[in-house]
Amino acid sequence: MKGFPRTLILCLLALLGLGTSRAATPAIKAVYLDFRTQVMTLQAMKDLAREAADNGMNAVVVEWEATFPFEDNLTLRNRFAFSQDEVREFIDFCAKLNLEVIPLQNCFGHSEYILRHERYANLKEDKKDRSQVCPLKINDAEAVFRSIFGEIAAMHPSRYLHIGCDETRLLGHCPACRSKAKEQGIAALYVDYVTSMCRIVSELGKVPMIWADILLKYPEALDRLPKEVIIVDWNYGWKPDHFGKMENLEKSGHVIWGACSLRSHPDNLYLIQWRKHLDNIFDYVAYASNHGFAGIINTSWSTSGTYGYIYDDASEVVNMQPVREVYPHAGFDMLNKAYEAAISGQFHDPDSFLDAYCRNRLGLERPADIETIQEYFNMKQQPVAAAGDLASKTDAELARCLELRERLQMVKFAPAARPIAAHLELMLDIRINYLKFKILERDTQSPEFNKDRVATLLEKLDRLTRETEKLQKRFIRLNKDFLKDPEQSYNEWTYYGKMRNLVTILRNIQQS
């Protein structure tokens, strides 16, 4: 029996404890810090590291991006950049906890924060989309990334340097790349460039790591990839062959790591798919264990990795904003604990873990309280819209959330669990607030919308805006010690900005 059917059966047997003994979990067990849009305070980073070490982790993967204290590439620093002393302090702190800090430095796709600057803009694949380096500009790219990798490697004692190379959606986009792809195939475009980047990493004395998605899609590239490269398969809740046949990866001779996730698409500020992540963590840790993966990472994405740009003209980027903001990592205690449970083997299925989490972590004793919290985490939060097919789902979704919120107010959490409960309550309140807005916005998208309806609608929107501003203050207060700038994640770029804009439009209509 080969491929996914056998894999599924093995994973199910392992989870149920039947027919097979559970394989050892991967040797490297890592958590993830993503600083692309939400930047933690140094103390919050230390607290997370300490908890990770206490929970059996031995590595932290950090995507510093523009928060890294570059010197030779000083241009890249943003307003949240750490000092070199702070980075050393964090790495030293982790070392005392036996945590290896593994840096991730993108060099191909997801390079917006580099390519937005005129100093590096000659590397870009597209004139306006700053996400990807052109793989044919190897000589120029080698000079830039030898410098960038060198700075990163110098400050990290880790054996590894993760260089990303995922989601290179613009492969074959520019005329020169299209020509090479036509002659040699897309895989050649990818692997020639990645090989050059990996060679730089090896020359720095580090082991290069890359994500697996493009190699799974173009497996013909595997034979040309240097054997020392570690390949990290990311799976956030889909079948193992989602990007391509895992069998090709596993037979390639490369060391393989895996990655599950506690925050990923379609999560945002007002939508969190708890159950999907809970199942993913348990399922994929079991899969990685049964397939002999050498490492596992529990990723935590603060954004989708796509951006909107403000241009001064066709070539100069004034600013860029992540398309999606996500609730801060501080609110995801349950999924952090689920990862701990999965890698420790203490629990083999998500439901038994969730029951124990409610009783032991949250201190719940009454069956009704346990049932409420389990329903909270099992609730299938779905996207809604002000118009189209999703519009009809909004009312039912709001009614369900309001009913659950009423029950949540009655739950008796243990005193020590109140900080966790405060996040859960705020997350649900933000979703309720958002759903209320979508219902009001739906009226403005209707063909029946006219001036006669503006006054009533404006009155409701004014009240809702005040409610949103109270939620924003709660959000800032709850995350002020965790994020350097908590207001950034709940500002004009979220649905709150759309709400304020609609209020202004309705007032203008009313006065016209």
Give domain limits for the chain.
24-344, 362-511
The residue-averaged pLDDT of 10-16 equals 44
pLDDT the model gives residue 348:
84
Tokens 């979508």 locate to 438
pLDDT the model gives residue 390:
85
Dihedral sign, Cα of residue 21, residue 27, residue 31, residue 32: negative
The residue-averaged pLDDT of 295-305 equals 94
Q: Give the span between the Cα atoms of 266 and 261, in whole angstroms.
A: 12
pLDDT the model gives residue 451:
94
Q: Give the span between the Cα atoms of 116 and 76, in whole angstroms.
A: 9
Give 19's pLDDT tier (boundaries 50, 70, 90): very low
* Share above pLDDT 70 across residues of the chain, in percent, rounded to a whole number: 96
Out of 278-282, 379-383, 462-466, least confident range: 379-383
Q: Give the span between the Cα atoms of 336 and 330, in whole angstroms.
A: 10
Predicted confidence (pLDDT) at residue 15 exceeds the cutoff of 60: no
The residue-averaged pLDDT of 60-80 equals 98
The residue-averaged pLDDT of 389-415 equals 95
pLDDT the model gives residue 315:
75
Helix (H, G, I), strand (E, B) or coil at 41: coil
pLDDT the model gives residue 13:
42
Q: Which one is predicted more confidently, 11 or 383?
A: 383
Architecture field, domain 24-344: Alpha-Beta Barrel (3.20)
Write the CA distances from 322 to 313, 315, 319, 424, 497, integer angstroms: 20, 19, 10, 24, 14
The residue-averaged pLDDT of 43-67 equals 97
What is the SS3 string spanning 233-272?
EECCCCCCCCCCCHHHHHCCCCCEEEEEEEECCCCECCEC
pLDDT the model gives residue 22:
58
Give 312's pLDDT tier (boundaries 50, 70, 90): confident
pLDDT the model gives residue 203:
98
| Number of alpha helices (DSSP H) and beta strands (DSSP E) in the chain | 17, 10
Q: How many other CB atoms are found less than 10 A from the CB of residue 177? A: 19
Q: Which one is predicted more confidently, 493 or 296?
A: 296
Beta-carbon contacts of 299 under 8 Å, excluding residues fewer than 6 positions away, are: 32, 34, 61, 234, 259, 260, 261, 262, 263, 264
pLDDT the model gives residue 16:
43
The residue-averaged pLDDT of 422-446 equals 97
Q: Give the span between the Cα atoms of 103 and 188, in whole angstroms.
A: 27
Contact indicator for 231, 214 with CB cutoff of 8 Å: no
Q: Give the span between the Cα atoms of 10 and 135, in whole angstroms.
A: 40
Q: Give the span between the Cα atoms of 82 and 64, in whole angstroms.
A: 9
The residue-averaged pLDDT of 421-429 equals 98
The residue-averaged pLDDT of 225-241 equals 97
CA angle 78, 84, 87 (to 5 degrees): 90
Would you tell me the crossing angle of helices 138-155 and 84-96 to the nearest 10 degrees? Answer: 60
pLDDT the model gives residue 417:
98
Mean pLDDT score across all residues of the chain: 94
Predicted confidence (pLDDT) at residue 48 exceeds the cutoff of 60: yes
Give 392's pLDDT tier (boundaries 50, 70, 90): confident
Q: What is the pLDDT of residues 125-181, one digit of tens each?
A: 998 899 999 999 999 999 999 999 999 999 999 999 999 999 999 999 999 999 999
The residue-averaged pLDDT of 460-467 equals 98
Predicted confidence (pLDDT) at residue 426 exceeds the cutoff of 60: yes
pLDDT the model gives residue 53:
98
What is the SS3 string spanning 86-153?
HHHHHHHHHHHCCCEEEEECCCCCCCHHHHCCCCCHHHECCCCCCCCECCCCHHHHHHHHHHHHHHHH
Q: How many other CB atoms are found less than 10 A from the CB of residue 262? A: 25
Q: What is the pLDDT of residues 324-377, one digit of tens each?
A: 899 999 999 999 999 999 999 988 899 999 999 999 999 999 999 999 999 999
pLDDT the model gives residue 275:
98
* Share above pLDDT 90 across residues of the chain, in percent, rounded to a whole number: 88
